[in-house]
Chains A and B, each alone.
Chain A
Amino acid sequence: MIPALGAQYLGAQLPGVDLVPATFNYAALSPILVVLGVATVGVLVEAFVPLRSRYAAQVGLTLAGLVAAFLLLVLLAVNHQTATAGLKVLGGAVLGSVIIDGPALFLQGTILVFAILGVLTMAERLGGVGADAFTPMGSATPGSGQEALALRAGSMTSEVFPLTLFAVAGMMLFPSAGDLLTMFISLEVLSLPLYLLTGLARRRRLISQEASLKYFLLGAFSSAFFLFGTALLYGYSGSVYLPDIAAAIPQGGSELNGLLVPGVFLVAVGLLFKVGAVPFHSWIPDVYQGAPTPVTGFMAAATKLAAFGAILRVVYVGIESARWQWSPAIAVVAILTMVVGAVLSVTQTDVKRLLAYSSIAHAGFILVGVLAFDRTGVSGVMFYLVSYGLTTIAAFAIVGLVRADGAEATHLSQWAGLGRRHPWTAGTFAFLLLAFAGIPLTSGFTAKFAVFEPALRSGATGTIMVVVGLLASAVTVFVYVRIIVLMYFTDSQNDAVAVVTPSVMTTIAITFGAAMTLVLGVWPTELLQLSASASQFLR
């Protein structure tokens, strides 16, 4: 906080510059600040706490920080809730750079829940010294003596926990950023740790590093597009603040229109890349496959949520009034995304890749809701993100437990007959798959309904998208049922494949995810109402 820079002083000094001093609303920022603070403490833990107690310290600290942040957030939301308007907005936390309004609170809370579940799965040790999913030493060459030595010496990359926290902070800021610069920086804050986490898998290190490289190069490529788009929009409106851009659109004459549309699309490229929309999706299968499985689950759930939150904000706060210029193209993207995601998942033979393609298809379904241009669309999208995320984290946590000779057995053929030997695990997984397929009585159905319904009402384009969406879901049903049949009705060929017994942490994550998948399918009203009351963006 810079209290010394008073407004009068600045105004007197620089008449030509429109400067306003920074005002921090610490209360509104507190959850993010807690997460960032704990992350920094985590870095210090890395430096000062001896190896023996480092794991416990990091995991405890991280979980405590996340829970504290969540509680603060709940307090924040409850304090500003009124009976009629639902979640009241809090206003710009820092001069409009960070907007804490209904959607922001809702999405931040969800990210924290995802983060808690994600950290629970990441911290799984399975009897080892450090987290089982992560390499003992990131810098050691895969398969080298150094690596074996590190394993014996009991070293671990406990840095993953502070890194995760930094990513979480970035994710929380991403959908609440009020200007494109803050959005860009949050994008990087959430991406950089994820690039690193992707490359730290314990097993199949080469694939993991490859995933990291691909993610990084394509991510940097896409954020360059985002930035160029921001530059064009800045040129268009003279500001990077979303409300300023929105204000410029109606009065902007045709002479600058040439900047607006390319600017919007280039910004969209950066955001659509993060959600994995076709044709910006190609990183998803490779990265999801290569990353450590708990990271994949966390990433799939939380990044998608944060990025869709940012899309919602850009669309509804910034560029909605120009929507006739850009929404047809994005509708095409949505249709392509659903079709390509669904069709490609048919021929996948690796569970993680299959879920990755399914995640692409889901991004398409969610985009349909975004394009409804309606408050119910916003709440539908938010509901979809919550239910998809919870299901995804649980599903990837289960994938991480199915092992053959200590390594994850991700090839589909290895899952044959799993239902006979591990009925509970396979049953839960089958249920989660049904949720992905959108079968009624699972959250997947309610969620699909919540995004398709506003789209149907929005007009002809919406109807076309919904029809394509239904056809695509029909294709994906085949894919998921195939796995279920494989688990229950084929004879196992490989007795070496077994489900390892997880610790209580992973069990909590899986149970919570699966239970919520059921609850949100049978009794979605509460969350639907919450998301509806939190769907008003502050402009």
Chain B
Amino acid sequence: MSLSHYIYLATILFSIGAVTVLLRRNAIIVFMGVELMLNATNLAFVTFARVHGTLDGQVIALFVMVVAAAEVVVGLAIIMAIFRARRSASVDSANLMKL
């Protein structure tokens, strides 16, 4: 098995994450889609680290986790604030601004 299979898997997961963002209405699931994309990226980093024989990829993946964690906190706080105001976590209900 070639290591490129891992990359293919990462690509599939990344695409599924992107589709989740496009199709789900619950802001939290949308956000999970973004998280899935980031995780797919991490898989690619770890695999490439193995290809190149350096640990850099792993370290970058670690930093990505940290960044994602911070992003999760901010994101969930924003979603909570919106939910409190609207009683809905649907991203579609937030469309006062358009055109």
Contacts and interface: CB of A to CB of B under 8 A. Distances in A.
- Answer yes or no: are A and B bound together in one complex: yes
B97 A211 contact: yes
Contact of A213 (B17, B34, B78, B98): B78
Interface string B60-99: 1001100100110011011101101110000100111111
Nearest to A214: B94
Interface string A114-134: 000000000000000000000
A285 interface: yes
A213 B71 CA distance: 13
Contacts of A346: none
Given A217-B31, A289-B97, 7 more contacts: A196-B78, A210-B95, A211-B97, A213-B79, A224-B14, A224-B34, A224-B37
B63 A185 contact: yes
Interface residues of B, number: 48
Shortest beta-carbon contacts, A-B, top 8: A224-B37, A235-B48, A231-B44, A238-B52, A210-B94, A286-B97, A220-B34, A227-B41
Interface residues of A, number: 45
A213 B94 contact: yes
B57 A234 contact: yes
B41 to A, nearest CB: 5
Interface in A211-226: 211-214, 216-217, 220-221, 224-225
Interface string A413-448: 000000000000000000000000000000000000
Contact of B78 (A195, A227, A239): A195
A228 B91 contact: no
A17 B59 CA distance: 13
By secondary structure, the B interface counts as helix
Contacts, number: 126
A224 B97 contact: no
17 contacts: A17-B54, A138-B81, A139-B84, A181-B63, A196-B78, A206-B85, A206-B86, A209-B85, A213-B94, A217-B21, A224-B34, A228-B37, A230-B41, A230-B60, A231-B48, A232-B44, A240-B60
A181 B41 CA distance: 13
B42 to A, nearest CB: 8
A240 B44 CA distance: 13
B93 to A, nearest CB: 9
A202 interface: no
Contacts of A530: none
Nearest to A218: B21
B75 A209 contact: no
A235 B85 contact: no
Nearest to B94: A210
Contacts of B14: 224, 228
A233 B87 CA distance: 43
Interface of B: 7, 10, 14, 17-18, 21, 27, 30-31, 34, 37-38, 40-41, 44-45, 47-48, 51-57, 60, 63-64, 67, 70-71, 74-75, 77-79, 81-82, 84-86, 91, 94-99
By secondary structure, the A interface counts as helix
B75 A220 contact: yes
Interface string A3-30: 0000000000000111000000000000
Given A238-B54, A240-B60, A231 B74 contact: no
Contact of B55 (A17, A210, A213, A221): A17
A217 B30 contact: yes
A167 to B, nearest CB: 12
Interface of A: 16-18, 138-139, 141-142, 181, 184-185, 188, 192, 195-196, 199, 205-207, 209-214, 216-217, 220-221, 224-225, 227-228, 230-232, 234-235, 238-240, 285-286, 289-290, 347
B82 A210 contact: yes
Contacts of A286: 97-98
Contacts of B95: 210
Contacts of A206: 85-86, 96
A464 B54 CA distance: 45
A224 B27 CA distance: 17
Contacts of B21: 217, 221
Nearest to B77: A196
Nearest to B3: A235
Contacts of A142: 85
B78 A199 contact: yes
B75 to A, nearest CB: 6
Given A210-B96, A220-B71, A234 B60 contact: yes
Contacts of A213: 27, 78-79, 82, 91, 94
B57 to A, nearest CB: 6
B75 A216 contact: yes
Contacts of B67: 184-185, 188
Nearest to A289: B97
Nearest to A210: B94
A211 to B, nearest CB: 7
